[in-house]
Amino acid sequence: MFQLNPYVASAAMRFDQAILQIPKYSKRKSEAYHALKIIPRISFRPDPHKVNMFHLNINGGVEKLNDAI
């Protein structure tokens, strides 16, 4: 535990600034979710999203995905 002290101090110093960013991150997540949700070959987990992280699944073969890129 002694070796973790620098990480705790660093996190504590940035906590107040980071907590203020959560509404912005949540809005960006919702915008991305709604923009990508209309594409038929894309699915999400969890769906509907409940937190600021979700898994994005793109259904398609490797060749089709490479062509799309």
| Amino acid residing at 40 | P
The beta-strand segments (E) located in the chain are 42-45, 55-58
pLDDT at 2: 62
Domain residue ranges of the chain, discontinuous segments joined by +:
2-68
CB 52 within 8 Å of CB 25: yes
Report d(CA 29, CA 6) in Å as an integer.
30
Give this prediction's pTM: 0.61
CB-count burial class (<10 Å; 0-12, 13-18, 19+) for 37? middle
- List the chain pLDDT tens, one digit each, 69 residues: 567 778 888 888 888 888 999 899 888 888 888 888 888 888 888 877 777 778 888 887 788 778 877
Q: In this predicted structure, what is the pLDDT of residue 5?
A: 79
